[in-house]
Chains A and B, each alone.
Chain A
Amino acid sequence: MTSGTEPADDAFRAEMRAWLEANCPPSMRTPHLPGQEVWGGRRRTFPSDDARLWFERCVERGFTAPAWPREYGGAGLTREQARILDAEMRAMGCRSPLISFGIWMLAPVLFEFATEEQRAEHLPPIARGEIRWCQGYSEPGSGSDLASLSTRAVRHGDHYVVDGAKVWTSHADHADWMFCLVRTDPDAPKHDGISFILLDMATPGVSTRPIQLISGSSPFCETRFDNVRVPARNLVGREGGGWQIAKKLLEHERSIISVMRDRAPEEAETLPAMLKRVGEPALRDRVIQAELDFLCNRLTLERTAEAAKAGKGPGAASSMFKLYGTELNKRRKELRVELQGYQGLGWEGAGFEPSELQITREWLRSRASSIEGGTSEIQLNIIAKRVLGLPD
């Protein structure tokens, strides 16, 4: 089934299919298991030789960032071509060659707000998977009220001195650089005193500590800055213009959380299959409801993608998908644990299958999904204000 109507599109599709056929190792056409993602970075590791090979071949073609111009490490594809490549990769079940906050979150705002020097310096290493980025937004005292952040950056000649702390910095302990919101003017109204800076995590004074979640995993860190010197040329946009950039980036982050979920590791067993295995009729209606909602959510993602292709913007759709997707995901994980019965209550060790423990850990992990990247309540505020136009 193809939607390509232009002969040029069909030719391109055939070319991509042939390239993938020749270059994507068969083991990279299987759903990835948790922990098998390739994140890149100075200390990059690969779960297998095939994963490295797949990564390197994609980097060489610019397929880690297909729609970027070639001079920045992309493949220079048009939007339509990039969509075709993506569709072909999905059809073949290809894994993402590189999971990258740099590509998905930082790059769009660099393209929009950064200087040519900054783009030339940062975009190619992102596309090549050489530098791994993390996000420095939330602080111990600034969660949903992000604009109240208090990490200070004081200008001293050709550099800033940064002091403060960030939390919920995803994978900061593995990251090479951080894009970071800092307060450059404490006297300005709170949204106007914020700037967006890029910071090398190897700079003296930066320390990172993983935070252990209720699931036992540590995807987030606390990062402290103690007299950290950041070159002034690492300011993106104008001083005091960081909030605009931050908001833009959050929109990208929300759509990414939907994409990530779409490409999440395959569930070993579907909810209906679990229901049939354990035979718990009392849970049937909830399983059906969860399956139905999953279907409706998937159809809505598809509808939005079609609209985007027709040139209609997503609007506040990213907030809706963030809200609905994470709330639904929580419900589905909860149901999985419930279907497991007592075997769903184990923490570790003998007596529990690894697959059972994984379901339990994922259930606990899912509770954070409706908090990170803007809580469900914040998404509801955004929808009420921007879509429905309800007054403050």
Chain B
Amino acid sequence: MRRFELTPEQEELQRAARTFVEKRVPTAHLRALRDAKDPSHVSRAVWREMAALGWAGIAVDEKHGGAGLGLVELGLVMEELGRTLAPTPLLATSVIGAAALAEGAEAARAHLPALARGERLVALAFEEERRFAPYACKTTARHAPHGAGWILDGEKTFVLDGPSADLLIVVARTAGAPGDRDGLTLFVVDRALAGLTVEPLAMVDSRGAARVRLASVAVPSADILGDAGKGADLLDRLLARATAALAAEMLGAADAVFRTTIEYLKTRHQFGVPIGSFQGLKHRAAHLFCELELTRSVVRAALVAVERAAPDADALVSAAKARASDTFTRAAAEALQMHGGIGVTDDLDVGFYYKRAKVAELTFGSAAYHRDRFGRLHGY
């Protein structure tokens, strides 16, 4: 079965995304948002344009105003956005948020048309520890003493795109102890609810993240996603999608910073010759090219496997994230080194890639985490 070659429609989408990214969200866009110290870290205007192109609701079913496409298409757009490190809500809202809401009851699905129009942003609030630990949840949800509904208490950190979110998908514990896979429940929480505070975090990659505090937040019972206590299955599915899509973004970023570096090697002269003629640099560039090709294969395989719910999907997601982390980190580090002095200045964009590589690596599990998981999934 084919899994790597794109269909003509997918190629068309890829071209459209590339054109849009070059024109509307070059790296200067990220720089401008950073310099403006905009705490939301995203541009609603840009997002509405992307929604008009059908990308906000790309994976939302047509009944709810979406395009009804899959994770492979999302991955293609993510890869293009990665090229310029474009800070858009696509990952948090369209990859994770839309999939979460689609699994809910009527009240949750009612948000989808607005999401597809680019009018509602979503963020997943699940992290509480210093590093990726999806089941470590200490945030509690208990039945409201009077009438229906739930009361949520706890604190979430590293909530991606939390500052701009209108809705939060909050993971809370309805049973069991921190670390237990059982007993987790996902809720759709309106940002405006009393007791909920969102504190933006200034991150090294200039992207949006927040700490979210929940102090006796009353959530209506209609806003539960799936069955109480059984949320880990849904959370795992959301994280598999998110991790594969993030790996695609990292691939795009790694490829772009690599290309920039190759151009520099051809144009920068020292000792009277282009520095790209030195074998010490050439060989490192050629090695990096191979790493990128391998990353491209495993990222695509992971997206397809998750979309098809293939038996090896989890292992491929871990392989893709581990490989994308290593490759992006190496590509960005080599970019800094090969650009020499100018590379470590803020005037150039390569520093943005280097910083983004670190944040992306630690998001949804580091390379070390996913290598370990790859081994465990294979029984060793």
Q: When each residue 1-29 of chain B gets 1 if its CB lies under 8 Å from chain A and 0 otherwise, what string results?
A: 11111000000000000000000000000
**Shortest distance in angstroms between A61's beta carbon and chain B's nearest beta carbon?**
28
Q: When each residue 348-392 of chain A gets 1 if its CB lies under 8 Å from chain B and 0 otherwise, what string results?
A: 000000000000000000000000000001011101100111111
Binding site for A on B (CB under 8 A): 1-5, 262, 265-266, 273-274, 276-277, 279, 282-283, 285-287, 289-290, 293-298, 300-301, 319, 322-323, 371-372, 374-375, 378-380
| Chain A residues within an 8 Å CB radius of B297 | 296, 299-300, 302-303
CA distance A65 to B2 in the complex (A): 26
**Cross-chain contact A289 with B5 (CB below 8 angstroms):** no
Contacts A306-B2, A391-B266 given; indicate if A292 touches B322 (C-beta within 8 A): yes
**Cross-chain contact A292 with B374 (CB below 8 angstroms):** yes
**Shortest distance in angstroms between B363's beta carbon and chain A's nearest beta carbon?**
19
**Cross-chain contact A300 with B1 (CB below 8 angstroms):** no
**Cross-chain contact B319 with A380 (CB below 8 angstroms):** no
Scan residues 268-293 of chain A and give those whose CB is less than 8 A from a CB of chain B: 272, 275-276, 284-285, 287-289, 291-293
**Cross-chain contact A285 with B371 (CB below 8 angstroms):** yes
**Cross-chain contact B286 with A388 (CB below 8 angstroms):** yes
**Cross-chain contact B2 with A320 (CB below 8 angstroms):** no
**Cross-chain contact B371 with A384 (CB below 8 angstroms):** no
Q: Is A295 an interface residue (CB 8 A)?
A: yes
Q: Which of A287, A307, A384 meets B375, CB within 8 Å?
A: A287
**Shortest distance in angstroms between B316's beta carbon and chain A's nearest beta carbon?**
8
**Cross-chain contact B296 with A292 (CB below 8 angstroms):** no
Contacts A276-B380, A380-B286, A384-B285 given; indicate if A288 touches B375 (C-beta within 8 A): yes
| Chain A residues within an 8 Å CB radius of B372 | 285, 288
| Chain A residues within an 8 Å CB radius of B298 | 295-296, 299
**Cross-chain contact B5 with A306 (CB below 8 angstroms):** yes
Q: Is A202 an interface residue (CB 8 A)?
A: no
| Chain A residues within an 8 Å CB radius of B265 | 390
**Shortest distance in angstroms between B295's beta carbon and chain A's nearest beta carbon?**
7
Residue of A nearest to B278 (CB): A390
Q: Which of A275, A289, A310, A380 meets B287, CB within 8 Å?
A: A380
**Cross-chain contact B266 with A288 (CB below 8 angstroms):** no
Q: How many residues of A contact B (CB 8 A)?
A: 39
Given contacts A296-B295, A306-B3, A391-B277, 5 further A-B contacts (CB under 8 A): A288-B374, A295-B298, A297-B294, A384-B282, A391-B274
- Could you name 15 residue pairs across A and B whose Cβ atoms are closer than 8 Å? A287-B380, A288-B371, A293-B294, A296-B323, A299-B297, A300-B294, A302-B297, A303-B4, A320-B289, A380-B282, A380-B283, A390-B265, A390-B282, A391-B276, A391-B277
Interface centre among A292, A306, A320 (most CB of B within 10 A): A292
Interface centre among A284, A323, A377, A384 (most CB of B within 10 A): A384
Binding site for B on A (CB under 8 A): 1, 3, 272, 275-276, 284-285, 287-289, 291-293, 295-297, 299-300, 302-303, 306-307, 309-310, 320, 323-324, 377, 379-381, 383-384, 387-392
Q: Which of B4, B262, B319 meets A302, CB within 8 Å?
A: B4
A-B pairs with the 4 shortest C-beta distances? A299-B297, A383-B286, A384-B282, A296-B294
Residue of A nearest to B287 (CB): A380
CA distance A309 to B290 in the complex (A): 21
Residue of B nearest to A383 (CB): B286
| Chain B residues within an 8 Å CB radius of A380 | 282-283, 286-287
CA distance A297 to B290 in the complex (A): 10
| Chain A residues within an 8 Å CB radius of B294 | 293, 296-297, 299-300, 324
Residue of B nearest to A298 (CB): B297
CA distance A259 to B142 in the complex (A): 60
**Cross-chain contact A295 with B319 (CB below 8 angstroms):** yes
**Shortest distance in angstroms between A283's beta carbon and chain B's nearest beta carbon?**
11
**Shortest distance in angstroms between A144's beta carbon and chain B's nearest beta carbon?**
12
**Shortest distance in angstroms between A1's beta carbon and chain B's nearest beta carbon?**
5
| Chain A residues within an 8 Å CB radius of B371 | 285, 288-289, 292
Q: Which of B285, B322, B375, B380 meets A388, CB within 8 Å?
A: B285
Q: Which of B2, B3, B323, B379 meets A292, CB within 8 Å?
A: B323
Contacts A288-B372, A288-B374, A303-B297 given; indicate if A384 touches B4 (C-beta within 8 A): no
